[in-house]
Structure 1
Amino acid sequence: MDRKQSDTEIVYDDYLDDSWRRTGWAELPFFLAVARAGTFRAAAERLKVNHATVDRHIRALEEAYSVRLFDRKARGVTLTAAGRNLLEKAKAAERTVLTAKRSVSGMDAKLSGEVRLNISSWNAYYVLAPNMPRFHELYPDIDLKVTVSDRVEDLTKSPSDVSYRAAWSVDEDVVARKVYSYCAAVLASEDYIKQHWDSRGPNGEGLHWIGKSTLWPNPKLDDTKLFSGAARRGEVLDPILINELLKHGQGMAIVPVCTLLVVPVLSVVPGTPVVPDRSVWVLLQSDLRHTARVRAVVEFLCEMGKNTYKREKELLLSSELMNA
């Protein structure tokens, strides 16, 4: 049946009625939560419902499809072959719904509403946190939902609207703005250097690496084979924990040189170079590039990053660093 409104033709597929509601549509979020969490209880915690609610929705979905989607075991659940088949399709449906939401919400020109930001832990703690009071002062009606993660996510498959991260390059189908490029160096506490430097062996024996080239290797420093005889103290992947271990004199690590700005007891290890590293990028979903609140967040992040770059540049020009 066709119905017309003004000059726009709106076609209603009346023959479909509401039968799609009986295809398990409402149950798919519960299915995805269980598949990702591995247990009904963990899925219930994520969804902020009780265990029985999750179980009821999964049973309803299995009944609608006439197939078992999970094998229930004492320590959790695993997907059946049918469940694995459904998982990819459910993820695609989830992405479609999220894209539709962003497209519709993007029509709002007001500086208000929710913006979901994914940011690395180093930038979250040392760059974003000190700037949050100013953000709330400038944009009191923007609800910034922050997710902290050091795992490089594909923004096109993520629920995040904006991502602030370091990378050599960006190949995703998103809007990307390079904010600045930073440098890396081998840092250690001044006390650690005083205690271990003079007694080191010819290849760094007696020194210690804290998760050398932890999250993302820097080829320019790795290729120099610095202190090949130094012992390695664990595979530490968390940048904040690395900084704490450095601060407490547990060894050396390759980290952004601007760490010197936030952990002042550190120094560049003598005789080691300061080299270019990755660039910091602000990425956003392409369908949100004209949304006022998202643009405001992006501009704020870019300004925040440029201020960090300015401070690093001043640090690199300082006589204290150049003589380290």
Structure 2
Amino acid sequence: MVGGNNWDDLRYLLAVARHGSLSAAARVLGVNHSTVLRRVTALEQAMGAQLFDKLPGGYALTAAGEEMHRVAQKMEEDLTAANRLLSGRDTQIRGSLRVTTVDILTLYILPRHIAAFRRIHPDLRVDLMAAEASLSLTRREADVAIRATNRPPENLVGRAVSGLAFAVYGAACLLGQGPEAEDFDRHPWVGLDESFDHTNLARWMKRTVPASAIGYRVNSVAGLVEAVRAGVGLGLLPCGVVDRDPAFRRIGAPVPEADAKLWLLTHEDLRHMGRVRAFLDFMADALSRERDLLEGRCRTAA
């Protein structure tokens, strides 16, 4: 049996198993490297078995570690389910709310709406976390997710509040005037790296733009926006971010193959929590009112 601090001990095992190293686990847990090593060692001594093999590529669970890992995961699931159920009864709009979304929404779309939301609910702190990979709402890493996707996770509930259109843009200073400015072949391109290969944006680029034309690649859509702004090349950008910015010039209509939906999502057990409900309702209204912009119908005159 694990000692008196059962769950606290097992948290360290889960973190190392998930992230593959002591240092990565330490960052996630907010402790130092030596604390993780000490707690894992203490757990191994308490269990009388080695739980991890230290390999050149990191830490790997042993057979005994796999057994303990299954126990730890079950405990985590039970605790988080209980926490969600209890939290879901909370109707007060105060405390903190954890929201995960992508970088373009964090930088260009959500700040003005969160400012308006906070004026109505000043006792609620919003913790906004930008991450291309979704944080887990099941494990309460976040309470709400705002995602641009056509396939929201099946284990979450929510609604699509708008489309999110993409079109080809260049910097106004790069394109100049005249019909030749809209010739794709006359300009270099900015692309996304291989971490986006699963997206509609990357698939359209591969079908449309020769690899030899791409002179610069980035690993975020926000980085893509700023590279195009600087005149590095053309790029496929979200209309809702750049259509009202005179630094950009759109070439043609939105690209249907790159369209996504903007989803507001939460976990079933949290949907009736006061602060979650208040935030979702406010953002649904705010983003719905911006549909013309987000869906590419507010084009700035060239």
Alignment TM class, shorter chain as reference: 0.7 to 0.9
Asked if the contact 1:108/1:292 (under 8 Å) is kept, the reply is yes
Q: Deviations over 1:233-266 (max 9, x none)?
A: 2442301110110001111111211222464311
Aligned equivalents of 1:20, 1:186: Cα separation in 2: 58
State the alpha-carbon separation in 2 of the partners of residues 158 and 196 from structure 1: 53
Larger radius of gyration: 1
Corresponding residue for 1:257? 239
1:61-72 equivalences in 2 (<5 Å): 61-72=43-54
Count of aligned pairs between the two proteins? 297
How many Å separate the matches in 1 of 2:178 and 2:133? 34
Change (3 A) 1:95 1:304: farther
Superimposed CA distance per residue, residues 206-253 of structure 1 (whole angstroms, 9 cap, x where no aligned partner): 522211698321599559x54548611244230111011000111111
Q: What residue number does 1:163 align with? A: 145
Q: CA deviation at 1:25?
A: 2.7
Cα distance in 2 for residues equivalent to 1:125 and 1:319: 20
Does residue 208 (structure 1) correspond to residue 184 (structure 2)? The answer is no
Between 1 and 2, higher relative CO (CA 8 Å, sep ≥ 6) is seen in 2
Contact 1:179 1:279 in 2 (8 A): yes
Superposition pairs of residues 76-115 of structure 1, within 5 angstroms: 77-115=59-97
Tell me whether 1:293 sits opposite 2:275 in the alignment. Answer: yes
TM superposition shift of 1:196: 11
C-alpha spacing 1:220/1:52, structure 2 compared with 1 (3 Å): closer
Q: Which residue of 2 aligns with 1:316?
A: 297
Give the deviation of 1:167 after TM superposition. Answer: 1.0
State the identity as a percent.
28
Counterpart for residue 275 of structure 1: 255
Q: Distance in 2 between matches of 1:197 and 1:35?
A: 57
Q: How far 1:49 moved relative to its partner?
A: 3.0
Distance 1:36 1:188 in 2: 41
Counterpart amino acid of 1:273? A
Name the CA distance, whole Å, in 2 between partners of 1:38 and 1:319.
48
Structure-2 residue corresponding to 1:307: 289
Query: In structure 2, do the counterparts of structure 1 residues 41 and 132 end up closer, same or farther at CA, with 3 Å as the change threshold?
Result: same
- TM-score for both structures, normalised by structure 2: 0.83
Partner of 1:151: 133
5+ residue gaps, structure 2: none
> Alpha-carbon deviation of 1:37?
4.0
Q: CA RMSD in A?
A: 3.3
Q: Which runs of 5+ in 1 are unaligned?
A: 1-18
Cα distance change on mapping 1:197 and 1:28 into 2, 3 Å: farther
Cα gap change, 1:230/1:88 in structure 2, threshold over 3 Å: closer, same or farther?
same
Counterpart of 1:217 (choices 169, 190, 200) is 200
> 1:292, CA displacement in angstroms?
1.0
Contact 2:169 2:248 in 1 (8 A): yes
- Counterpart mapping for 1:111-260 below 5 A: 111-152=93-134, 155-156=137-138, 159-194=141-176, 198=180, 204-211=184-191, 215=196, 216-218=199-201, 225-228=207-210, 231-260=213-242
- TM-score in terms of structure 1 length: 0.78
Q: 2:13 aligns with which of 31, 35, 46?
A: 31
State the distance in 2 between where 1:200 and 1:108 align.
55
Matches of 1:160 and 1:48 in 2, distance apart?
17
